[in-house]
Amino acid sequence: MEVKIARHAGVCYGVKRALQLAEQATEGEGEVHSFGPLIHNPQAVQSLQEHGVQVAETLDEVGEGTLIIRSHGVAPDVVDEANIRGLKVIDATCPHVGKAQDAAQKLSADGYFVVIVGEADHPEVSAIRARAGEGVIVVQSADELPPLKDRRVGVVVQTTQMADVLDEVIAELLPRVDELRIFNTICDATSNRQAAAAELAAQVDVMVVVGGHNSGNTTRLSQICRQVNEKTHHVETPEELDPIWFNGAKVVGVTAGASTPSAQMAGVVERIEKMS
Protein backbone atom coordinates (compact mmCIF):
# COMPACT_ATOMS: atom_id res chain seq x y z
CA MET A 1 0.00 0.00 0.00
CA GLU A 2 1.15 3.49 -0.77
CA VAL A 3 0.60 6.05 2.01
CA LYS A 4 0.05 9.68 1.04
CA ILE A 5 0.09 12.52 3.57
CA ALA A 6 -2.12 15.59 3.11
CA ARG A 7 -0.29 18.76 1.98
CA HIS A 8 -1.27 20.47 5.21
CA ALA A 9 -1.60 18.20 8.22
CA GLY A 10 -0.87 18.00 11.91
CA VAL A 11 0.24 20.37 14.58
CA CYS A 12 -0.38 24.06 13.88
CA TYR A 13 1.40 27.25 14.86
CA GLY A 14 -0.84 27.95 17.87
CA VAL A 15 -0.45 24.46 19.34
CA LYS A 16 3.32 24.45 18.79
CA ARG A 17 3.53 27.81 20.56
CA ALA A 18 1.46 26.55 23.52
CA LEU A 19 3.63 23.44 23.85
CA GLN A 20 6.83 25.52 23.77
CA LEU A 21 5.51 27.93 26.40
CA ALA A 22 4.56 24.99 28.62
CA GLU A 23 7.99 23.45 28.21
CA GLN A 24 9.66 26.75 29.14
CA ALA A 25 7.40 27.06 32.18
CA THR A 26 8.66 23.75 33.56
CA GLU A 27 12.23 25.09 33.52
CA GLY A 28 11.31 27.67 36.19
CA GLU A 29 10.59 27.32 39.91
CA GLY A 30 7.39 25.97 41.49
CA GLU A 31 4.37 24.05 40.30
CA VAL A 32 3.02 24.43 36.78
CA HIS A 33 -0.64 23.96 35.89
CA SER A 34 -2.59 24.47 32.71
CA PHE A 35 -6.16 25.70 33.05
CA GLY A 36 -7.88 22.69 31.53
CA PRO A 37 -5.96 20.44 29.12
CA LEU A 38 -3.42 22.58 27.23
CA ILE A 39 -4.58 21.11 23.89
CA HIS A 40 -7.21 18.53 22.91
CA ASN A 41 -4.87 15.59 22.61
CA PRO A 42 -4.85 13.09 25.50
CA GLN A 43 -1.41 11.63 24.65
CA ALA A 44 0.24 15.07 24.49
CA VAL A 45 -1.46 16.09 27.75
CA GLN A 46 -0.24 12.87 29.41
CA SER A 47 3.29 13.59 28.23
CA LEU A 48 3.05 17.14 29.60
CA GLN A 49 1.94 15.76 32.96
CA GLU A 50 4.97 13.48 33.02
CA HIS A 51 7.12 16.59 32.42
CA GLY A 52 5.52 18.54 35.26
CA VAL A 53 2.52 20.32 33.72
CA GLN A 54 -0.56 19.31 35.71
CA VAL A 55 -4.12 19.99 34.58
CA ALA A 56 -6.32 22.13 36.85
CA GLU A 57 -10.02 22.45 36.12
CA THR A 58 -10.48 25.25 38.67
CA LEU A 59 -8.18 27.85 40.24
CA ASP A 60 -8.80 26.25 43.65
CA GLU A 61 -6.73 23.28 42.43
CA VAL A 62 -3.74 25.59 41.90
CA GLY A 63 -2.11 26.48 45.15
CA GLU A 64 0.85 28.46 43.85
CA GLY A 65 3.28 28.72 40.97
CA THR A 66 2.50 29.11 37.29
CA LEU A 67 -0.81 28.95 35.47
CA ILE A 68 -0.75 28.44 31.70
CA ILE A 69 -3.75 29.68 29.77
CA ARG A 70 -4.35 27.07 27.09
CA SER A 71 -4.45 27.66 23.34
CA HIS A 72 -8.28 27.94 23.42
CA GLY A 73 -8.13 30.91 25.81
CA VAL A 74 -10.26 31.56 28.91
CA ALA A 75 -12.76 34.13 30.17
CA PRO A 76 -11.07 37.37 31.36
CA ASP A 77 -12.26 36.86 34.94
CA VAL A 78 -10.14 33.68 35.22
CA VAL A 79 -6.98 35.65 34.44
CA ASP A 80 -8.02 38.45 36.81
CA GLU A 81 -8.62 35.97 39.62
CA ALA A 82 -5.31 34.17 38.95
CA ASN A 83 -3.49 37.50 39.20
CA ILE A 84 -5.28 38.35 42.45
CA ARG A 85 -4.16 34.98 43.84
CA GLY A 86 -0.55 35.83 42.99
CA LEU A 87 -0.08 33.15 40.32
CA LYS A 88 2.38 33.68 37.50
CA VAL A 89 0.19 33.66 34.39
CA ILE A 90 1.56 32.53 31.03
CA ASP A 91 -0.88 33.22 28.23
CA ALA A 92 -0.68 30.49 25.58
CA THR A 93 -3.94 31.57 23.93
CA CYS A 94 -3.42 31.19 20.19
CA PRO A 95 -3.16 34.67 18.62
CA HIS A 96 -5.86 33.65 16.10
CA VAL A 97 -8.20 32.83 18.98
CA GLY A 98 -7.26 36.20 20.47
CA LYS A 99 -8.49 37.87 17.27
CA ALA A 100 -11.86 36.13 17.59
CA GLN A 101 -12.07 37.26 21.23
CA ASP A 102 -11.26 40.85 20.26
CA ALA A 103 -13.84 40.77 17.46
CA ALA A 104 -16.59 39.66 19.85
CA GLN A 105 -15.62 42.35 22.35
CA LYS A 106 -15.63 45.05 19.66
CA LEU A 107 -18.98 43.99 18.24
CA SER A 108 -20.52 44.04 21.69
CA ALA A 109 -19.01 47.46 22.50
CA ASP A 110 -20.40 48.80 19.21
CA GLY A 111 -23.89 47.63 20.11
CA TYR A 112 -24.22 44.58 17.86
CA PHE A 113 -26.05 41.41 18.86
CA VAL A 114 -23.29 38.79 18.56
CA VAL A 115 -23.76 35.46 16.79
CA ILE A 116 -20.91 33.02 17.44
CA VAL A 117 -20.75 30.15 14.97
CA GLY A 118 -19.29 27.21 16.85
CA GLU A 119 -19.74 24.52 19.50
CA ALA A 120 -21.39 26.04 22.59
CA ASP A 121 -19.55 23.77 25.02
CA HIS A 122 -16.08 24.20 23.48
CA PRO A 123 -13.63 26.13 25.72
CA GLU A 124 -12.63 28.44 22.86
CA VAL A 125 -16.27 29.40 22.31
CA SER A 126 -16.86 29.90 26.04
CA ALA A 127 -13.90 32.30 26.14
CA ILE A 128 -15.19 34.24 23.09
CA ARG A 129 -18.68 34.33 24.53
CA ALA A 130 -17.38 35.75 27.80
CA ARG A 131 -16.30 38.86 25.82
CA ALA A 132 -19.54 39.31 23.89
CA GLY A 133 -21.69 40.90 26.59
CA GLU A 134 -25.37 40.06 27.17
CA GLY A 135 -26.64 40.03 23.58
CA VAL A 136 -25.04 36.85 22.29
CA ILE A 137 -26.00 33.44 20.96
CA VAL A 138 -23.95 30.43 19.85
CA VAL A 139 -25.16 28.41 16.86
CA GLN A 140 -23.75 25.36 15.16
CA SER A 141 -25.93 25.69 12.09
CA ALA A 142 -28.24 28.17 10.36
CA ASP A 143 -31.23 26.17 11.67
CA GLU A 144 -30.43 27.26 15.22
CA LEU A 145 -30.69 31.01 14.50
CA PRO A 146 -33.40 32.97 16.32
CA PRO A 147 -35.48 35.48 14.22
CA LEU A 148 -33.18 38.51 14.89
CA LYS A 149 -35.45 40.58 12.65
CA ASP A 150 -34.33 44.19 12.08
CA ARG A 151 -31.39 43.83 14.48
CA ARG A 152 -27.77 44.93 14.06
CA VAL A 153 -25.96 41.60 14.10
CA GLY A 154 -22.26 40.77 14.24
CA VAL A 155 -20.85 37.33 13.45
CA VAL A 156 -17.71 35.72 14.85
CA VAL A 157 -16.62 32.15 14.13
CA GLN A 158 -14.81 29.53 16.19
CA THR A 159 -11.36 29.35 14.57
CA THR A 160 -11.69 25.69 13.60
CA GLN A 161 -15.17 25.77 12.04
CA MET A 162 -16.01 24.79 8.47
CA ALA A 163 -16.41 27.66 6.00
CA ASP A 164 -19.59 26.05 4.59
CA VAL A 165 -21.36 26.41 7.94
CA LEU A 166 -20.38 30.09 8.17
CA ASP A 167 -21.66 30.64 4.60
CA GLU A 168 -25.02 29.07 5.49
CA VAL A 169 -25.41 31.21 8.62
CA ILE A 170 -24.60 34.40 6.67
CA ALA A 171 -27.01 33.48 3.86
CA GLU A 172 -29.78 32.96 6.41
CA LEU A 173 -29.05 36.17 8.33
CA LEU A 174 -28.66 38.57 5.39
CA PRO A 175 -32.32 38.94 4.41
CA ARG A 176 -33.47 39.11 8.06
CA VAL A 177 -31.32 41.69 9.78
CA ASP A 178 -30.97 45.45 9.57
CA GLU A 179 -27.17 45.40 9.48
CA LEU A 180 -24.70 42.53 9.34
CA ARG A 181 -21.01 42.69 10.28
CA ILE A 182 -18.90 39.58 9.80
CA PHE A 183 -15.53 38.67 11.24
CA ASN A 184 -14.34 35.53 9.50
CA THR A 185 -12.10 34.26 12.28
CA ILE A 186 -11.58 30.76 10.86
CA CYS A 187 -7.79 30.46 10.95
CA ASP A 188 -5.59 29.66 7.94
CA ALA A 189 -4.26 26.50 9.56
CA THR A 190 -7.84 25.20 9.71
CA SER A 191 -8.78 26.20 6.15
CA ASN A 192 -5.57 24.74 4.72
CA ARG A 193 -5.95 21.45 6.58
CA GLN A 194 -9.61 21.09 5.61
CA ALA A 195 -8.96 21.82 1.91
CA ALA A 196 -5.95 19.49 1.75
CA ALA A 197 -7.83 16.70 3.57
CA ALA A 198 -10.81 16.88 1.19
CA GLU A 199 -8.49 16.89 -1.83
CA LEU A 200 -6.56 13.83 -0.65
CA ALA A 201 -9.61 11.89 0.56
CA ALA A 202 -11.05 12.12 -2.97
CA GLN A 203 -7.94 10.45 -4.44
CA VAL A 204 -7.35 7.51 -2.09
CA ASP A 205 -9.00 4.17 -1.28
CA VAL A 206 -8.99 4.68 2.49
CA MET A 207 -8.52 7.86 4.50
CA VAL A 208 -7.18 7.96 8.07
CA VAL A 209 -7.52 11.06 10.24
CA VAL A 210 -5.27 11.19 13.30
CA GLY A 211 -6.00 13.17 16.45
CA GLY A 212 -7.78 13.33 19.79
CA HIS A 213 -11.33 11.97 19.82
CA ASN A 214 -12.06 15.06 21.94
CA SER A 215 -10.56 17.39 19.34
CA GLY A 216 -13.15 19.47 17.50
CA ASN A 217 -10.86 20.35 14.61
CA THR A 218 -9.87 16.70 14.08
CA THR A 219 -13.49 15.57 14.20
CA ARG A 220 -14.39 18.16 11.55
CA LEU A 221 -11.50 16.98 9.35
CA SER A 222 -12.91 13.50 9.65
CA GLN A 223 -16.43 14.71 8.69
CA ILE A 224 -15.04 16.56 5.66
CA CYS A 225 -13.12 13.48 4.49
CA ARG A 226 -16.16 11.23 5.01
CA GLN A 227 -18.22 13.50 2.75
CA VAL A 228 -15.94 12.56 -0.18
CA ASN A 229 -14.73 9.14 0.94
CA GLU A 230 -16.94 6.93 3.10
CA LYS A 231 -13.92 4.77 4.00
CA THR A 232 -12.66 7.42 6.43
CA HIS A 233 -11.49 6.46 9.93
CA HIS A 234 -10.60 8.75 12.86
CA VAL A 235 -7.96 7.28 15.18
CA GLU A 236 -6.04 8.64 18.12
CA THR A 237 -3.29 6.00 18.26
CA PRO A 238 -1.75 3.37 15.91
CA GLU A 239 -3.34 0.61 18.04
CA GLU A 240 -6.82 1.73 16.93
CA LEU A 241 -6.09 0.86 13.28
CA ASP A 242 -8.01 -2.20 12.12
CA PRO A 243 -6.34 -4.20 9.30
CA ILE A 244 -9.79 -4.99 7.83
CA TRP A 245 -10.16 -1.33 6.83
CA PHE A 246 -7.31 -1.71 4.35
CA ASN A 247 -8.43 -4.90 2.58
CA GLY A 248 -7.90 -4.37 -1.15
CA ALA A 249 -6.63 -0.80 -0.68
CA LYS A 250 -3.77 0.38 -2.85
CA VAL A 251 -3.48 3.98 -1.68
CA VAL A 252 -4.15 5.23 1.85
CA GLY A 253 -4.40 8.92 2.71
CA VAL A 254 -3.42 10.28 6.11
CA THR A 255 -4.08 13.64 7.68
CA ALA A 256 -4.01 14.90 11.26
CA GLY A 257 -5.71 17.58 13.31
CA ALA A 258 -4.01 20.81 14.32
CA SER A 259 -3.55 19.47 17.85
CA THR A 260 -1.86 16.23 16.77
CA PRO A 261 1.89 16.08 17.47
CA SER A 262 4.03 14.98 14.50
CA ALA A 263 5.24 11.83 16.29
CA GLN A 264 1.64 10.65 16.74
CA MET A 265 0.89 10.97 13.04
CA ALA A 266 4.22 9.31 12.19
CA GLY A 267 3.33 6.36 14.45
CA VAL A 268 0.05 5.82 12.60
CA VAL A 269 1.75 6.06 9.18
CA GLU A 270 4.40 3.54 10.26
CA ARG A 271 1.75 1.04 11.40
CA ILE A 272 -0.21 1.38 8.14
CA GLU A 273 2.98 0.79 6.14
CA LYS A 274 3.71 -2.35 8.17
CA MET A 275 0.27 -3.71 7.27
CA SER A 276 1.19 -3.75 3.57
Contacts to ligand F3S by CB under 6 A: 12-15, 71, 94, 96-97, 159-160, 187, 189-190, 217, 258
Residue whose CB is less far from ligand F3S, 67 or 256: 256
Distance, CA of 112 to CA of 149 (rounded, Å): 13
Residue whose CB is less far from ligand F3S, 185 or 232: 185
CB of 112 to ligand F3S, least distance (A): 22
By beta-carbon distance, which residue lies closest to ligand F3S? 14
CB of 190 to ligand F3S, least distance (A): 5
Residue whose CB is less far from ligand F3S, 14 or 154: 14
Q: Which of 126, 208, 198, 119 is nearest to 165 (CA)?
A: 119
Distance, CA of 276 to CA of 265 (rounded, Å): 18
CB of 217 to ligand F3S, least distance (A): 6
Residue whose CB is less far from ligand F3S, 13 or 133: 13
Residue whose CB is less far from ligand F3S, 148 or 163: 163
CB of 145 to ligand F3S, least distance (A): 24
Examine the residue annotation and report whether 124 is marked as an active-site residue of this protein: yes
> One of 27, 29, 31, 124 is an active-site residue; which one?
124
Secondary structure of the chain in the HEC alphabet? CEEEECCCCCCCHHHHHHHHHHHHHHCCCCCEEEECCCCCCHHHHHHHHHCCEEEECCHHHCCCCEEEECCCCCCHHHHHHHHHCCCEEEECCCHHHHHHHHHHHHHHHCCCEEEEECCCCCHHHHHHHCCCCCCEEEECCHHHCCCCCCCEEEEEECCCCCHHHHHHHHHHHCCCCCEEEEECCCCHHHHHHHHHHHHHHCCCCEEEEECCCCCHHHHHHHHHHHHHCCCEEEECCHHHCCHHHHCCCCEEEEEECCCCCHHHHHHHHHHHHHCC
CB of 94 to ligand F3S, least distance (A): 3
Residues noted as catalytic = 124
